[in-house]
Amino acid sequence: MTHDIYGLPVTGAGPDTLTAINDFIHGFIAYEQKATGIIAAAQADPECCLANAYAAMLWMFLEAPVAPAKAEPFLCIAEATEKAATPRERQVVAAIRHWIDGDVPASVAACDDILTDHPRDMAMLKLAQYHLFNLGDAPAMLKVALKALPGAADIPYTHGMIAFGYEQCHLLDRAETAARHAMSLRHDEPWAHHALAHVMLTQGRTAEGAAFLEAVADTWTPLNSFMRSHNWWHLALFYLSLGRHDDVRAAYDTHIWGLAKDYSQDQVGAVSLLARMEFAGVQVGNRWADVADHVAARGADTVNPFLTLQYLYALGRTHRAEADNLMQAIRARAADTTRFDHPAWAEVALPAATGILAHTSGDWATAIRDLGAALPRMAECGGSHAQRDLFEQIHLDALVQDGRASAAQQVLEMRRTYDPDGVPLNLLLAEIYTKTGLPDLAEEARARATATARAASA
């Protein structure tokens, strides 16, 4: 019997297949493109249970309606060979079977069982965190990551995942400590960079955050499109706060949109950033059209509510007819009471969707009412704090557009607790204070914006 990169037994794998398995495991947790080689390896080795299970798993990360059909043949092969597999390998097959069948809670439970006995199974840890992230269960994200200690304490990616779990639980100091420990083990650990970016954004350390990400950005170039574009997306958020409009546009054009235009995560990253750019007063030109074309090609995609809501915004923002079709699909998905995530769709995603679509048509009152009702529970749809802030910004824009200056002031001052000197925030706050008859506060806000922009350009 052979063993994988982290010492776990692997059955039925020849040298080439074992290399592909190791490439998948490391590529998956490090966001390296070599992970995709598992597909060809599985096709070449139908006797290897784990290789075919991992190939099925990779297809599911397509995050598209066709993904289960793509994954199914590989998992059937894995199931046919699992009699000769180890108990852990059979558990891996079960975890992926649950996912393909749409039972994510059962998939999470299977991953958790694996980690109880095999804390060095980094692939299953990453899969568990992915699912829990999409479920909006931050404490469980942290709990499952901590199961890797002390058995996997020597693996830098362990600490990157722990860091993100801490950050999503608002334990920012612990998140930073874990992220920096991961980087001490491996400086180019991209998920640790990502966790630290979250911490700095939440703490309003925008200039420091931009400088940090710029210093490590060269290590993202060879990564898969999601990790490269997403870490650049975080850098672009710092640029927005600092008023660096040219740098935001350059980041979008060079590193965020265009790497893999058909991929779900690349699409929502582009949608989210374009919307934020417009809310911040950045001219985006004709950039919406290309993104909307690719989103429209997805059809009525309701695989994940967090993703679907951003697809809807792109279609509505560009007045595409497909927006109505997607809205109908969202209503149908929300009416399906057989799925584990029915409450998230029916009670959160549906009102959020009607609010988002109302915003894109200028129906501010409906946007404020429906999106406002969904916001307290948006975590149930998935996404990080930073990502879900898009929906907060859409709601805020509706307040401003509808002339509700008093309500907007309350939101803006709360936002200033974590972005105290942000240029777009303070410029908008100055407008609101002017409208509410508080000129001295308006001038203070303008002065903060000016000082930040001046320092950023120095």
Asked if 21 and 55 touch (Cβ cutoff 8 Å), the reply is: no
pLDDT of residue 360: 98
Average pLDDT over residues 14-19: 97
Q: How many CA atoms lie within 13 A of 34 on its CB side?
A: 13
Average pLDDT over residues 319-329: 97
pLDDT tens across 263-302, in order? 999 999 999 999 999 999 999 999 999 999 999 999 999 9
pLDDT tens across 190-209, in order? 999 999 999 999 999 999 99
pLDDT of residue 425: 98
Tokens (6 digits) for 208: 């420091």
**pLDDT confidence of 3, banded at 50, 70, 90?**
very high
- In angstroms, the CA 363 to CA 397 distance is 12
pLDDT of residue 1: 74
Tell me 254's DSSP state: I
Asked if 47 and 20 touch (Cβ cutoff 8 Å), the reply is: no
Phi, psi dihedral angles at 280 (to 5 degrees): -90, 0
Closest C-alpha to 264, from 157, 382, 385: 382
Average pLDDT over residues 428-441: 98
Closest C-alpha to 203, from 439, 385, 390: 385
State yes or no: pLDDT of 458 exceeds 90.
no
pTM equals 0.97
Share of the chain above pLDDT 70, in %: 100
State yes or no: pLDDT of 70 exceeds 80.
yes
pLDDT of residue 270: 98
Average pLDDT over residues 436-450: 98
- In angstroms, the CA 306 to CA 2 distance is 40
State yes or no: pLDDT of 364 exceeds 80.
yes
Tokens (6 digits) for 420: 């105290």
Average pLDDT over residues 386-413: 98
State yes or no: pLDDT of 416 exceeds 80.
yes
Q: What is the mean pLDDT of the chain?
A: 97
Share of the chain above pLDDT 90, in %: 99
Q: What angle is formed at CA 301 by the lines to CA 346 and CA 313, rounded to 5 degrees?
A: 75
**pLDDT confidence of 447, banded at 50, 70, 90?**
very high
**pLDDT confidence of 385, banded at 50, 70, 90?**
very high
Cβ count within 10 A of residue 41: 23
Average pLDDT over residues 422-449: 98
pLDDT of residue 237: 98
pLDDT tens across 120-139, in order? 999 999 999 999 999 999 99
pLDDT of residue 319: 97
- In angstroms, the CA 455 to CA 358 distance is 38
- In angstroms, the CA 76 to CA 74 distance is 5
